Amino acid sequence: MSDDFDIGEEAAEFDELSKAKAQINRLSRQLYETKHKHADYLEAVETAVKEAVERIDIAPVESIVWNAGATDAKEEYAVALLSDLQTGKRTPDYDSDICRDRVMRYARKIVDIATIQRLHHPVRHCVVPMLGDMIEGIDIFPGQQYLVDSTLYDQLFNTTPTILADFVRFLLGHFETVTVYAVDGNHGRIGRRGQFGPMDNADRMLYRILAMLMRDEPRFKLIMTDPKGERNWYQVMQLGTYKALLIHGDQIRGHSGFPWYGLGKKVQGWGSGGLGADSDFKDVFMGHYHQLARVPLNHRAVYCNGSTESTNTFAAECLAAQSEPTQWLLFVDPTAGRVTASYGVELS
């Protein structure tokens, strides 16, 4: 036997290797159990919500008879952008109750402006692109717990669903149909970035709750992409020959609060094939920046939506920016494939 062979040393190395393999196997089992516990938890929550909401019985809205306008004029769609409610957020002059007041004020103004439009042409249908950040969320950034007036539970199951359902039901009283196109916002994220998967977004849950609440209303429709394992970050809305790309807007990086260069780069990239078959859109609707703006990019236009909130001390300190509570209301000719009128609706 060679003098270089030490059976004791070989046995020790074998023992260490066995321990390492056992540790790996143990960690693998723990990871597997953790993943399945997480999945089981989410499935239990989803089932409980569905069962609770399905027991709620809400009668369909009776449509109001209105003047359809000149019968020989081309019909147009009312397109009411709704985003950045951030229900649950608290600032010196904003909270969940003020959010409700402003959203319902917006609904009344939509009807008032549509009534004026109907003096010239029919406006039978209302489309509502919901562009995300419908709730404020909890713990998506440090210190957020000091800036909210309600828990995530209240935001997701009490305040925001009733605000959205009342908004939609009011519109159903004045339009033949209401169709919601929905995308997720960054405030819908649960916890800090990476804690949950991209599908676990409270905005997406909220839209599903709204669909359940309105399930017995035949004149309401929710359209939302639901990619497996991915965030519902965009979709293309089509009204006749008109197409608009819907995003929340956190995909656009800005400099000192101004995203104009990033906006041009991203939109031109998406429109030149970056979204594959979805690249043939006309305009872009987005929120996120809480600033009402229309940005022309050659033959496209980007409609950046405002917010229902008012004073924001963070924006004042860090971005030197404030904005009045506003939302975009557009009218679209589906035959010509273009926006014919746009209103920046003031809600303060």
For every residue of 138-162, DSSP letters joined together read SSSSTTGGGSBSS-HHHIIIIIHHH
What pLDDT is stored for residue 12 in this prediction?
63
Question: Cα–Cα distances in Å, from 40 out to 27, 29, 37, 314?
Answer: 20, 16, 5, 38
pTM of the model: 0.82
Count other Cβ atoms within 10 Å, centred on residue 151: 13
CATH number, domain 64-346, options 3.40.50.720, 3.90.1580.10, 3.60.21.10, 3.40.50.11710: 3.60.21.10
What pLDDT is stored for residue 102 in this prediction?
97
What pLDDT is stored for residue 280 in this prediction?
95
What pLDDT is stored for residue 85 in this prediction?
95
What pLDDT is stored for residue 179 in this prediction?
98
Amino acid code (one letter) for 71: T
Amino acid code (one letter) for 172: L
Give me the residue spans of the domains in the chain: 1-55, 64-346
pLDDT lower than 70: segments of the chain: 1-14, 20, 24, 27-28, 30-57, 65-71, 144-146, 191, 194-197, 255-258, 313-321
Between CA 302 and CA 318 the distance in angstroms is: 25
What pLDDT is stored for residue 260 in this prediction?
81
